[in-house]
Amino acid sequence: MYSSLSQFKSYLWISSSDTSNDDTLTLLLETACNQINRLCGVDSFDQQTFTQNLDVRKIYVNTFWYNIFLKNKPVQSITKIGWNEYSGVKWTDYMVANDRRIIFQNFDYESKFGFIPIEYVAWYDRAKPVEWSTTTIDELPADLKMMEMMLACGWLPEHLRVQYMVWITSYHLWDETITLWWKTTSKDSEDLYFSFRMMLDKFKNFNLAI
């Protein structure tokens, strides 16, 4: 889940002392999380290590720089290239532009197959240590948490909608029919739909054919 149960209950104006429907609310959040991942083409937005096969014949060379494009973003670090540990330092030996474009000073790896694996760390640290402190912060963008709660809210069963006075309207998102949140006019509904779609588009993942 990207948002917590306590955040979702606050979103629905449910008292923290009311635990009678916690299991159902948690299930709705988990389902919404899976739906967002599927629509965006990712396994998770939580920071993790990925391995991607790189076509070395398609490395873009610009003057003395070597450019490659990775699928998952934002790229945090490069850990292996061609089965070997990579010791290059970010912002010294390579840099990350536009979250997924990697620019190397040197890239002399070769492969008889034309492909080499590259291992890297990407997406968001959910418990990033704060310098000179014992606390941590969650790097996950707030709009991902909000979208998860919006979707989960739309799937509330009828008896809970009545109990918590949540009124909803359905919308179409691409080829999906989903329910987001309650609105009283068609204009409000359209505004919400496009706001949701703009938030989701920012996180959609894809392979760059370069």
Higher confidence at residue 197 or residue 25? 25
Greater pLDDT, 58 or 34? 34
pLDDT of residue 185: 45
Residue 188 vs residue 35, higher pLDDT = 35
pLDDT of residue 106: 85
Instruction: Return the pLDDT at 173.
Output: 46
Strand partners, 66: 61, 104
- pLDDT band for 202, please (50, 70, 90 cuts): confident
Asked if residue 195 has pLDDT above 50, the reply is yes
pLDDT of residue 140: 93
Beta bridge partners of 171: 178
Tokens of 180: 């987001």
- Between 119 and 56, the higher pLDDT residue: 119
Separation CA 130–CA 67 (nearest Å): 32
Q: Give the integer Cα–Cα distance in Å for 50 and 198.
A: 26
The per-residue pLDDT for 209 is: 46
As a whole number, mean pLDDT of residues 6-26 equals 93
Looking at residue 18, what is its pLDDT?
A: 92
* pLDDT-based confidence at residue 207 (cuts at 50, 70, 90): low
Residue 191 has pLDDT above 70, yes or no: no
Q: Alpha carbon of 75 to those of 67, 68, 94, 110, 135: distances in Å?
A: 14, 12, 12, 23, 24
Model confidence pLDDT, tens digit, residues 147-185: 899 888 878 887 887 787 665 555 444 455 554 444 444
Give the residue with greater pLDDT, 1 vs 177. 1
pLDDT for the residue 194 = 60
pTM for the model stands at 0.73
Structure letter (DSSP) for residue 77: E
Those residues with Cβ within 8 angstroms of residue 102's Cβ, 6 or more apart along the chain or in another chain: 67, 68, 69, 70, 75, 78, 94, 95, 96
CB contact at 8 A, 123 and 72:
yes
| Residue 149 and residue 29 in contact, taking contact as beta carbons nearer than 8 Å | yes
| pLDDT per position as a tens digit, 58-116 | 777 776 788 888 989 899 999 999 888 999 999 999 999 989 899 998 887 777 778 88
Average pLDDT score, the chain: 82
